[in-house]
Amino acid sequence: MFTRPDAVTLTIYLDGAPLTARAGDSVAAALLSHGIHTTRQTPVSGAPRGPYCMMGACFDCLAVVDGQPGVQTCLATVRDGMRIERQQGARSLSDTQ
Amino acid sequence: MNPDLIVIGAGPAGISAATEARAHGLSVLVLDENPAPGGRIWQALETRGAKDQDDTDGLLALHKFRASGADARWRSSVWAIEPDGTVFWSEDSVARSARAARVVVCTGTTERPMPIPGWTLPGVMTVGAAQIALKTAGLLPTGATWIAGQGPLLLLYTVQALRAGGRIAGVLDVSDGTAPLRALQHVPMALRAFDDITKGLAWRREITRAGVPWLSAMTLRAEGEGTLQRIAFRAGGRPRVENADLLLLHDGVIPSVQITRALGCAHEWDAGQHCWKPALDAWGTTSLPNIVVAGDGAGIGGARVAVLSGRIAALGVAHALGRIDGALRDTAAAPLRAARARALAVRPLLDTLYAPRPRRLDDATIVCRCEEITAAQIRDAATLGCLGLNQLKSFTRCGMGPCQGRMCGSTAAEVLAAARGVPVAAIEPYRTRFPTKPVTVGELAAMAAE
């Protein structure tokens, strides 16, 4: 598990539950700082997955971020009030498309 | 405005290429997925601050780049390049394009996949991933963290994490015990890069002094229900099971060739580094005249080599575009080439010491994380006559998920080669296609030319 000694300033929401984050964090790093490793379930078998490479290559850390599905959370930067939902299976087409 | 040069990736190679090109009067556009320059090794260095001489050198390079006048676009994800130098990317949810006379691809490396049973469980990550979490967000490993694999990055991260106050339960070394003997032949050459060797040995001593167990281990498995809970392995001739909530894997790095593959550039097999790399001329130009590669994406050499390659590539571009004559180009490049040869002297030693172990995957081990394709399915495909990775897609869907083969290509080739009884280099690699990053129809509809 990871931990972080520094102060945190922002609030994000994972499946509705508030979590602290630090400005500049990637969404994935903010979740990992709370020991949260699971961001989605795979479309193939429903197995849980989460951040693996942290550099945008593996596509395992996908989640729904502010309504946008299929976001690579390791590349998305947190914003105060950001709403993240774990992605269940294949991404859906979002309303904004 | 179409620039003279577009640089993809703002790591050591990219920022050096951009800075050098600006010094010769070229207009430069730099595209990078991250929020700031630095690539992997200098990631978030401007906010972290320098801790040693390498950091200080990096910070100086970053300052020069920031002052160079290059147009840098952060959080910009390149998804297509055409051979004529037209680049497409997404920035703030809008697709954009620009055409440059030359494109320098500085996309660096990805970690060589190290598939073990259970490596898809949440809680199993790469050492590189943990290093990014440390550098960008200050995340430290707590007690039940194990590190497994081999290579310089494994040593470096372990030392960085310990110095920052992190705690590590143990390091599982999977390197070949006979490799040091075979590596001896490369020691005389590597002595030209003596400081690299002494640094590596000092890291190893520091880990031992910190009381972190260093175990030679085999047959590692990650286990748990829904998340990583324990690891199982053999060490000292007996099986062991340890509690674990974080397992970090690392087996070296390989060039990220996604873009050059999709472009159709010629590639060659590097037998010393066990990977494919683009075929380049002395200035980094690929088989496509407008496409240049610099840095670790051209073969693993490390940050110092990447800086020098970036500058050499920029000199080549400046000459090709008529900004400097051949004599000036060659004079400026000569000391850079000499320095690069010195910095590369340690590579044959490292490549031999940390050569990837042959994969002897259990049938049930997942090779393709996206499509959840196991080693057994690849072996079955070989039995049915599957010859290469593109056929393997049709047989199994291996490599057809969102990562587009980044996480499985090298393993799938090795499993298929072993099943067929041919060298890995004889296995046709994935034919990568643009877009190499997902782009939405909405982004495309809003496409704007620069």
User: Containing H/E element for B89?
Assistant: strand B86-91
Would you state the pLDDT for residue B448? 77
Residue numbers in A near B396 (CB within 8 A) = none
B125:A51 CB<8 A: yes
Rounded to an integer, the average pLDDT of B201-214 is: 95
**B188: distance to nearest CA of chain A, Å?**
36
Q: Which long-range contacts (CB under 8 A, 24 or more apart) does A16-25 make?
A: A16/A83, A21/A78, A22/A78, A22/B137, A22/B138, A23/A78, A24/A77, A24/A78, A24/B35, A24/B47, A24/B136, A24/B137, A25/A77, A25/A78, A25/B136, A25/B137
End-to-end CA distance of chain B: 5
**Structure-token match 């281990």, residue found:** B217
Average pLDDT, whole number, for chain B?
95
Residue B135 DSSP class: H
> Across the interface, do A30 and B137 touch by the CB < 8 Å criterion?
yes
Whether the predicted pLDDT of B189 surpasses 80: no
Q: Is B384 in CB contact (< 8 Å) with chain A? A: no
Are B121 and A48 a contacting pair at CB < 8 A?
yes
Over pLDDT 90: what percentage of chain B?
A: 85
Residues ≥6 apart with Cβ < 8 Å to B276:
B254, B255, B257, B267, B268, B269, B270, B429
Distance CA B140, CA B166 (A): 5
What is the enclosing helix (H) or strand (E) of B417?
Answer: helix B409-420
What pTM was computed for the model? 0.95
What's the pLDDT score for residue B145?
Answer: 98
Is A57 in contact with B406 (Cβ distance < 8 A)? yes
The conformation of residue B44, written as its DSSP 8-state character, comes to T
**pLDDT at B224 > cutoff 60:** yes
How does pLDDT run across A14-27, given as a tens digit for each residue? 999 999 999 999 99
* A52-71 pLDDT, tens digit each: 999 999 999 999 999 999 99
Is the pLDDT reported for residue B382 higher than 50?
yes
Q: How many CB atoms lie within 10 A of CB B341?
A: 12
Interface of A with B (CB under 8 A): 1-6, 22, 24-26, 29-30, 32-33, 35, 37-38, 42, 44-45, 47-60, 62, 70, 74-75, 77, 96-97
Q: Which residue of A has its CA nearest to B47?
A: A24
Q: Are strands A40-41 and A48-49 parallel, antiparallel or unpaired?
A: antiparallel
Q: What is the mean pLDDT of residues B241-258?
A: 97
- Residue pair B142/A3 in contact by the 8 Å Cβ criterion: yes
Mean of pLDDT values over A73-83: 97
Q: Vertex B399, ends B397 and B403: CA angle to 5°? A: 130
C-alpha–C-alpha distance, residues B292 and B8, integer Å: 10
Which chain B positions have a beta carbon within 8 Å of A29's beta carbon?
132-133, 136-137, 139
Chain A residues near residue B125 by CB distance under 8 angstroms: 51-54
By C-alpha distance, the chain A residue nearest B436 is: A57
Is B446 near chain A, with CB under 8 Å?
Answer: no
The C-alpha of B128 sits at a distance from chain A's nearest C-alpha, in angstroms, of: 7
Q: Mean of the pLDDT values across residues B215-241?
A: 96
pLDDT tens per residue across span B113-162: 999 999 999 999 999 999 999 999 999 999 799 999 999 999 999 999 99
pLDDT at A97 over 50: no
CB of B412 within 8 A of CB of B262?
no
**What is the percentage of chain B residues whose pLDDT exceeds 70?**
100
